[in-house]
Amino acid sequence: MKKTGKRLAAMILVSALAAALAGCGGKSSGEGSGTEKAEANKDGVTLSFAFNVEDTPEKYGVMVEPILEEFKALHPEVKGFEYVNCSKRTEEQVVTMMKSGKFEDVMTAPMAVSIKEYPNYFASLGNAEELNEKYFYGDYMSYEGQTYAMPIGVVYEGILYNQKVLDKYYGGKVPKTLYELKECCGILRDNGVIPFYTNAGAKWTMRFWDNLAVTWSEDTNYANSIVETKAPWADGTPLNEVLSFVGELAKNGEIEPDTVTEQWDKSKVAIASEEACFMLTGSWAIPQMKDTAEELGGSRDDIGFAPFPYKNDVGPDNKLNVRVSEDIFVVVNKNSPNVELATEFAKFFCERISLNRGMNEIMRDGGKVVDDLKNFETMDYINLYSVPTKDIRISEMASNAQIDVFSQGSYITKYVLEPCLAGGEPNFDGLNAEWAKNFN
């Protein structure tokens, strides 16, 4: 998000020592350091690769390793991969690694860095226009005509839910309107079920509420419009309306009690075990939730996914928008000694990892859709949409205001959840005051 290297440094909250010690999981190959660059030796090339899949046979062995083996078969010069599970890395740690120059050949892209900074650290993956013709969101992470990061999949954003909870307390009906959703949440609360699990402690989960504001607005370019708006959270704006809904959930006791601790795994158990019902997220989470339900003795069919009902009177003539969104991105270290090979691998990986992660494939021609989303094709009351490339000024202005809007969305905890859980109201005036500094 930062405008300069100096501003980046100012935003880092961890010390240099912490960054040096901040490993992000063991490597599967057992060879060398997972944070070193790829190296060529007499036995061939070893590429280092950081991704957010646990390095276990059940996860890495199923999702990642087959892709690596397929790539090695096509490239005999590649003798191995140094794989690192980076699911526990913080944004601050990633930025510190980038500034030190010590990071993998290929890794997941940082969210807390402005796209203007990407050319300083990452290799171009190709012409943005050409890549966008081939891939969904192929130009989303581009700067001056070059793409610097590729998405690993395409997802729908909506509500993940437990059908058995709805069967018990809401007549088996999945809320289709905002009125029904609010009604359902009240009934669930009164029966001791947590209506919504925000997992706010993880921070990155809150970005879905910002994204919902774009859906709510029914203007695909809504996010970019805030660069010309002095008060994006004013009464009546989509950001205000969405976060007012979040605030109501908090005030009504309709979210989990702990919004500070990172508890992604606990949130999955809560929904799969009928302790909670809803979560706003991406469709990539469906297989994870189904796996958890099965592990707890339930059925995979207990878990469903639906459009977020952000308005009333929904029907074929008044459709709900459903965002077809990018997921996390992959980047290539520009200083890798094998940058061309690493670039080819990054694209190869992104084309193949999607389905195993519960996402649609990124290829515009011939890309496959996961089975769990095929029911959306029969819904006559939804409209699928995607968003244009994000204006780079959003990140710059967000950095100035110290508000990570349309990025991680962690500001929602400070300005909405915390005051509402304390019995107050969302601090929209504070948000608008900070944002207005961009126009002084």
| Shared domain check, 226 and 123 | no
Between CA 145 and CA 148 the distance in angstroms is 10
166 in a domain, yes or no? yes
| Shared domain check, 95 and 238 | no
7 in a domain, yes or no? no
In the prediction, which pLDDT does 294 show?
96
Segment holding 348, helix H or strand E: helix 339-352
In 10 A of CB 329, how many CB atoms? 21
8 A C-beta contact, residue 421 and residue 259: yes
In the prediction, which pLDDT does 11 show?
35
DSSP calls for 307-342: ----SSS-BTTBPEEEEEEE--EEEEBTT-TTHHHH
Its domain, for residue 290, covers 155-319+387-437
| Shared domain check, 412 and 280 | yes
80 in a domain, yes or no? yes
| Shared domain check, 268 and 192 | yes
When divided into structural domains, the chain yields a total of: 2
| Shared domain check, 341 and 296 | no
Between CA 193 and CA 368 the distance in angstroms is 36
Between CA 39 and CA 145 the distance in angstroms is 30
| Shared domain check, 146 and 181 | no
In the prediction, which pLDDT does 92 show?
86
59 in a domain, yes or no? yes
Block residue for tokens 């100035």? 400
Can you give the pLDDT of all 440 residues of the chain as single tens digits? 333 333 333 333 333 323 332 333 333 333 333 334 344 445 689 999 999 988 888 889 999 999 999 999 999 999 999 999 998 888 889 999 998 988 999 999 998 788 899 999 999 999 999 999 999 999 999 999 999 999 999 999 999 999 999 999 999 999 999 999 999 999 999 999 999 999 999 998 999 999 999 999 999 999 999 999 999 999 999 999 999 999 999 999 999 999 999 989 999 999 999 999 999 999 999 989 999 999 999 999 999 999 999 999 999 999 999 999 888 999 999 999 999 999 999 999 999 999 988 899 999 998 898 888 888 888 999 999 988 888 889 989 999 999 999 988 999 999 999 999 999 999 999 999 999 999 98
| Shared domain check, 114 and 170 | no
223 in a domain, yes or no? yes
In 10 A of CB 100, how many CB atoms? 12
Which structure tokens are listed for 85?
Answer: 């599970």
Write the burial class of residue 37 (CB in 10 Å: 0-12 exposed, 13-18 middle, 19+ buried). buried
In the prediction, which pLDDT does 243 show?
98
The CATH number linked to 285 is 3.40.190.10
| Shared domain check, 61 and 202 | no
Q: How far is CA 104 from CA 37, 47, 50, 170, 189, in A?
A: 5, 8, 6, 49, 46
| Shared domain check, 335 and 190 | no
Which structure tokens are listed for 423?
Answer: 């019995």
| Shared domain check, 275 and 357 | no
In the prediction, which pLDDT does 55 show?
80
| Shared domain check, 237 and 115 | no
| Shared domain check, 174 and 307 | yes
